[in-house]
Structure 1
Amino acid sequence: MVFVFKTNINSLSKVKKVTPKLNQLFPNSKWNFDLEDCDNILRFECKDDIIEKVIFLMKVIGFECEPL
């Protein structure tokens, strides 16, 4: 499944801040940010429904995130 989120992560330094946490919590997933998109898209490719987990993680570390 592919999940798409709108975020407020708009720089590489912010991506670097969340990268270790995303890799740790979702080791079997592929993900990437599209910082050129106006919604600063985060795309996840994984087998499980991870929407609530991603939103919770992003809020805990201080970022906004909502599914599209």
Structure 2
Amino acid sequence: MKTVEIFKTNVQNDKDAKRIIASFLAVYPLYKINFDLEDEDNIFRVEANHLGIGTGEIINYMVDLGYSCERID
């Protein structure tokens, strides 16, 4: 079963997005991760092929990297 979580961020450019993706994949190698910086909410999308994605962990990790991040319902 595929699970997808979508987050609003303050990531502004591709350079930062690529750095964040590389950092996340080092910790969460099974996740598929991407950004949509064309969206007004600078969307951060996380997809996994299992039941749960630790949304709290993802938000905390983004905050630790210096960015705001909130789950979009």
TM-score by length of 1: 0.91
Question: Segments of 4+ in structure 1 off by > 3 A?
Answer: none
Give, as a single letter, the amino acid of the residue that structure 2 aligns with 1:63.
Y
**CA root-mean-square deviation:** 1.0
Counterpart position of 1:61: 65
Aligned residues: 68
In 2, the alpha carbon distance for the partners of 1:63 and 1:54 equals: 11
SS in 1 for 2:60: helix
Give unmatched runs, 5+ long, in structure 2. Answer: none
Counterpart position of 2:29: 27
Identity %: 35
- The higher radius of gyration belongs to 2
Counterpart position of 2:15: 13
SS in 2 for 1:49: coil
Counterpart position of 1:51: 55
In 2, the alpha carbon distance for the partners of 1:49 and 1:40 equals: 20
In 2, the alpha carbon distance for the partners of 1:21 and 1:13 equals: 12
Give, as a single letter, the amino acid of the residue that structure 2 aligns with 1:4.
I
Q: CA deviation at 1:57?
A: 0.4
Q: CA deviation at 1:26?
A: 1.1
Counterpart position of 2:6: 4
